[in-house]
Amino acid sequence: MKKKVVSVLLTLAMATTMLAGCGDKKTADSELGENYESSSAQQSEESQEESSDTAEESSEGSSAEPGGAAGELDYSEHVDLVFYLLGDAPVGLQSVQDAINEILEEKVNASVEFQFATWTDWGEKYKMTLTTGGADLIYTANWNSFGQLAQSGAFLGLDDLLDTVSPDLKAAIDPAALNGCKVNGEVMTVPCLWKQYTCLGIEYREDLREKYDLPVPDSQENLKAYLQGIKDNDPSQGLLPNGNNILGYETTHVASGAYGQRVYIENPSKIEEYWFSDQFVEDMKLMKEWADLGFWSRSTLSDTTDPFERYENGMFVCMPSGNNPNKYTTRVEAWASQHPEWKTAYHTYSEADGYVWSTTPTADATAITKDCKNPERAMKVLELLIMDKELNLLTQYGIEGVHYEIAEDGTYKNLSPDFGYEALNAWSLRNPAYKLANGQGGVLMQEMFDHYAEVIEEKGTPSVDPFGSFAEDTSSYSAEKAAVDDVCSEYLKPLEAGLVDDVEASVETFREKVKAAGLDTVREGWTKQWQAYVEENGL
């Protein structure tokens, strides 16, 4: 009721503003000739970018033919570029930047200034830099809203530039990966050449498992037995940080899903119900059962300390969520020196099915911003930074002999704290041809990656996550989405943490509230986009 009154008020306010004095006005329509065709009718199909003049001007640069092959680029004018990266600037930045620029000046008459978001409020500053046009080249990542930013026109389309300016670079990129970087049919960012695998898995204490003779937590029952076994033997040992993802075993076939709907890999065009299914109630009951068994703290919802840090210090016995080979190998290396008596192990959830495809290419990539004044030169510089061995090594490890040296076994050895391993945070520039392994963890991680590649080959599954590049555009239902998200954080989170008294009643409340918040609108919007994506990619 209240909502109704408010919306009526809003509508009234809008109506008075928009339609005031319409009375007997003639609409502009009547003035237009019979066969009026707006020139933008075609334009709007091409891309959003061209809906205003300013945008048109800036995009002209990209679509203009730079004149045939790469060699014919005009280098007569010196160009200064800004390369925006995440994280903090290393102490030795200036010397490395000078070394890079010395080469760049000579090769393409350009210089690059590396600017950093710093980790404080990095997300906000990253957006602001894009908004205010403060960069030419910029690091992009799907975990940093790449999809939405690209949908909204923050980056230049690179199709032409890749062909004309940097064919070598284009040739080096896995076509599947390049395809994954397309937004609305156009490549928007240059993916990292190095294939990474961030297959989710569960990390657990192998030493404790052996000690108490417990099963490997490779299924939900085994996880329960593993946890209960440790609890029985050592009641003071903490078990889990929270209830996140203990249902992860069941969802290995889930390709995507949002707002309580699920899509399975086997049939991605079929959308299946979750929140309103009996399975959901069963799952939530399970969460409560586990919570009541004392597997995690009753204060978990307000606990914001880093669970990984506490796992690392032996306060938990397994990490079922947010984990990947990279985190795991870091721990292996850390424990080797700090807790040699402890042993950690990793079980990849979907390895048995072969769904261990490499990370979405957009997870680690470089784009050219729409405000870039010299897209050709920016593209050329990007190509050199990735493909030129000398430049690439500079961006990753600093100056050889000053900041690092290559050990006899071919691994990386740091010489100066001023510029550490990948200190520039130019992760998207990593090139496997020149990449150096770093320490025990680095070597182990590469081993795991090779193993995943084998599994993929064996099972014949796709090498690149085919669902990863889906980018939802929420602009047409943002208010409803906000409301739904909010209901989730208030009613779904406690359910998932198993902290409610009566599961069925709470599930009912949640369902009612989420419906009232506009779930149907949001689902409709998502479903439409998902189906279009599936169709477009022939999945």
Partner 1 sequence: MDGKMEKLTKGGRLEETKFGRKTGVLLTAGISIVLLLLSLPFFDWVYLKNISALFGKMGISRETASTLYQSYSIFSLLGFVKNSNLGILGLYSMILLLLLMGTWFLHISYIWKALRNRFDNSDGKGMLRLYVTGKAAMLLTILLVAGSYGFVLYSNRFFGMKGFAASPLLAVELIGAMAAYAAIKKLEAVERIRCHEHGLVKEFRKNWVLFLMLLPVGVFFLVNSYLPMVGIYFAFVNFNFADGLWASPFVGLKNFEFLFQSQMGRLIRNTVLYNVVFIVLGNVLQIFFAVLVSQITVKWFKKVGQTLIFMPYFVSFVLLKVMVYSLLEYQCGAINNMIRSSGGTPIDFYNSPIYWPFLITLFNMWKSVGYGMVVYLATIMGMDGELYEAAKVDGANIFQRIRYITLPQLKPTFIILLIYSLGGIMRGNFELFYQTVGNNGLLYEVTDILDTYVYRITIGQPLSIGLGSAAGLFQSVFGFVVVLITNWAIRRKEADYALF
Partner 2 sequence: MKNGQKANKIKLSGSDITFYVIAYFVVGAAAIICVLPFLLIVSGSFTDNKLILTEGYSLLPRSFSMDAYGTIFRNPASILQAYKMTIYYTAMGTAVGLFVTTLTAYVLSRKEFKYRNVVSFLLYFTTIFGGGMIPWYLLYANVLNLKGTTFVIWFPGITSTFLIILMRTFISGSVPDAIAESAKIDGAGQFTIFWRIVLPVLKPGLATVGLFLALGYWNDWYRSSLFSTNSSTYELQFYLSNMLNSTTALKDLVVGATISIADLPTQSVKMAMAVVVTGPVLLLYPFVQKYFVSGITIGAVKG
> Which parts of 153-212 interact with partner 2 (CB under 8 A)?
196, 198
Q: Which of 309, 341, 409, 458 binds partner 2 (CB under 8 A)?
A: 309
- 128 sits near partner 2 (criterion: CB under 8 A): yes
Contacts of 236 (CB under 8 A, 6+ apart): none
25 DSSP 8-state letter: P
Q: Which of 246, 464, 517, 519 binds partner 1 (CB under 8 A)?
A: 517
Helix (H) or strand (E) holding 445: helix 439-459
- Contact partner at residue 29 from partner 2, partner 1, none, CB < 5 to 8 Å by partner kind: partner 1
**Rounded (10°) CA dihedral 479, 484, 485, 487:** 130
Q: Which is nearer to partner 2, 134 or 215 (CB)?
A: 134
Stretch in the footprint of partner 2 (CB under 8 A) among 69-77, 206-214, 323-331, 510-518? 323-331
Stretch in the footprint of partner 2 (CB under 8 A) among 318-326, 386-394, 400-408, 519-527? 318-326
- Contact partner at residue 196 from partner 1, partner 2, none, CB < 5 to 8 Å by partner kind: partner 2
Contact 109, 76 (CB under 8 A): yes
- 489 sits near partner 1 (criterion: CB under 8 A): yes
Name residues contacting partner 1, limited to 53-72 (CB under 8 A): 53-55
List the Cα angle 142/147/149 in 5-degree steps: 110
Distance CA 462, CA 438 (A): 28
* 474: helix, strand or coil: coil
Q: Which of 43, 111, 122, 225 binds partner 2 (CB under 8 A)?
A: 122
Distance CA 333, CA 212 (A): 24
Q: Which amino acid is at 272?
A: E
Stretch in the footprint of partner 1 (CB under 8 A) among 241-249, 333-341, 406-414, 488-496? 488-496
- 149 sits near partner 1 (criterion: CB under 8 A): yes
Q: Which is nearer to partner 1, 114 or 477 (CB)?
A: 477
Name residues contacting partner 2, limited to 232-291 (CB under 8 A): none
Contact 209, 237 (CB under 8 A): no
> Within 13 Å and on the Cβ side, how many CA atoms surround 519?
18
- Contact partner at residue 211 from partner 1, partner 2, none, CB < 5 to 8 Å by partner kind: none
- 306 sits near partner 2 (criterion: CB under 8 A): yes
- 235 sits near partner 1 (criterion: CB under 8 A): no
- 309 sits near partner 1 (criterion: CB under 8 A): no
Burial class (CB in 10 A: 0-12, 13-18, 19+), 464: buried
Contact 108, 388 (CB under 8 A): no
- Contact partner at residue 149 from partner 2, partner 1, none, CB < 5 to 8 Å by partner kind: partner 1
Q: Spell 132-149 as b/e; 16+ CB within 10 A means b.
A: eeebbbbbbbbebbbbbb
- 40 sits near partner 1 (criterion: CB under 8 A): yes
Q: What are phi and psi of 56, to 5 degrees?
A: -60, -45
Render 457-473 in DSSP notation, one character per residue: HHHT--SB-TTTT----
* 74: helix, strand or coil: coil
Stretch in the footprint of partner 2 (CB under 8 A) among 39-47, 88-96, 168-176, 520-528? 88-96
Nearest approach in angstroms of CB 226 to partner 1 is 20
* Strand 137-140 to 79-85 pairing: parallel
The DSSP bridge partners found for residue 224 are: none
- 10 sits near partner 1 (criterion: CB under 8 A): yes
- Contact partner at residue 198 from partner 2, partner 1, none, CB < 5 to 8 Å by partner kind: partner 2
- 278 sits near partner 1 (criterion: CB under 8 A): no
Q: Which of 135, 137, 154, 471 binds partner 1 (CB under 8 A)?
A: 154
Contact 270, 264 (CB under 8 A): yes
Q: Which of 121, 282, 292, 504 binds partner 2 (CB under 8 A)?
A: 121
Q: Which of 182, 224, 331, 370 binds partner 1 (CB under 8 A)?
A: 370
- Contact partner at residue 310 from partner 2, partner 1, none, CB < 5 to 8 Å by partner kind: partner 2
Contact 370, 52 (CB under 8 A): no
Render 476-506 in DSSP notation, one character per residue: GGHHHHHHHHHHIIIIIHHHHTT--S-HHHH
Stretch in the footprint of partner 1 (CB under 8 A) among 27-35, 247-255, 328-336, 410-418? 27-35
Burial class (CB in 10 A: 0-12, 13-18, 19+), 377: buried
Q: Which is nearer to partner 2, 104 or 363 (CB)?
A: 363
Stretch in the footprint of partner 2 (CB under 8 A) among 152-160, 201-209, 276-284, 316-324? 316-324
Footprint on this chain of partner 2 (rule: CB under 8 A): 87-89, 91, 115, 118-122, 125, 128, 131-134, 141-144, 196, 198, 305-306, 308-310, 313-315, 322-327, 330, 334, 359-360, 363-364, 417, 421-422, 425, 427, 438, 445
